[in-house]
Amino acid sequence: MPVETEALVDHIVELIRRSSCGLPDDVKEAIARAAEDEEAGSRAQNALRLVLRNVAEAEQGSTPTCQDTGTLIFHVEYGPEHRQRPLRGAIEAACREATAKQYLRPNAVDPVTGKNSGNNIGDGAPFIDFVERDEPGLHIALLQKGGGCENVSGQYSLPNGPLGAGRDLEGVRRVVLDAVHKAQGKGCAPGILGIGLGGDRMSSHLEAKMQLYRRLDDVNPDPDMAALEARLLREGNELGIGPMGFGGKTTLLGVKIGRRHRVPASYFVSIAYMCWASRRAALHIDADGVASHN
């Protein structure tokens, strides 16, 4: 028995509340560890402690961790008993309700008229990525990507002469470190990098975004990618930009890399810079309509 629409909308509102008014455990743990590592009494340590206090207060009062509740990016995997259009309807209804409950700020602005729709619904908003699967049930993941960090995200085309970056993993390393330097603290460092290698301009960016659904403590199954992720995390932190660009040891909390086949003529490296307020959560509904959150 698939889940009733009304119950589904309630579950998605709860998904949004959990995502927007808190932070995933792995991200909180990474920030707590970083706060310990920073020099005692430094600006960097104080900033990270303020971040941790803010997250605790947001969770306690169900108020947004950050007032920029971001672009809403949903990833939906659905079994054969579900159809896309009703699922989209349920997600939109939940976004309206979550905005009315102030879990979300009205964040959908028409680029032509400048008018804010007032409920987070608009052309292409929220973004929903649907994947059909054989297994019954439903998995809905939500990522909230703030505007400040989106503005420092970017895309490089290899080769890049000025950076001495060729079409290989060393070239990737060079452009990613350049991007971290360019961002300074402006993306609300410490950041998490989602990186997409290859693809076309569009799919490369999509792959980069999808990497941000990964837990910080997972390990890339591809050993070459795992090694590059670890190296970029270490070297990014060696830049010394620190939380908010105040200086310090913690510039990045994580680096996650994915790949897509490219045409021979193109080699894109897309970098989705996520602020420390990396808000994501997931909802699972099994074949009997029983919901669980993580």
> What minimum distance in Å lies between the beta carbon of 110 and other proteins?
14
Q: Closer CB to other proteins, residue 69 or residue 211?
A: 69
**C-alpha closest to that of 274 among 150, 178, 176:** 150
Residues that bind other proteins (CB under 8 A): 43, 46-47, 50-51, 53-54, 57-58, 61, 63-68, 102, 105, 116, 146-148, 151, 163-164, 174, 177-178, 181, 184-186, 188, 235, 238-247, 275-277
> What minimum distance in Å lies between the beta carbon of 138 and other proteins?
30
> What minimum distance in Å lies between the beta carbon of 129 and other proteins?
25
> What minimum distance in Å lies between the beta carbon of 30 and other proteins?
15
> What minimum distance in Å lies between the beta carbon of 66 and other proteins?
4
* Pairing mode of beta strands 127-132, 71-78: parallel
Name the DSSP class of 32: H
Q: Closer CB to other proteins, residue 73 or residue 140?
A: 73
Can you list the alpha helix ranges (DSSP code H) found in the chain? 5-20, 25-37, 43-61, 84-100, 147-150, 169-183, 201-211, 223-238
- The H or E element containing residue 292 is strand 291-293
Q: Closer CB to other proteins, residue 5 or residue 151?
A: 151
Q: Closer CB to other proteins, residue 53 or residue 83?
A: 53
Q: Closer CB to other proteins, residue 7 or residue 109?
A: 109
User: Please, how many CA atoms are within 13 Å of residue 135, restricted to the half-sphere of its CB?
Assistant: 8
Q: How far apart are CA 52 and CA 157, in angstroms?
A: 37
Three state DSSP letters for 175-188: HHHHHHHHHCCCCC
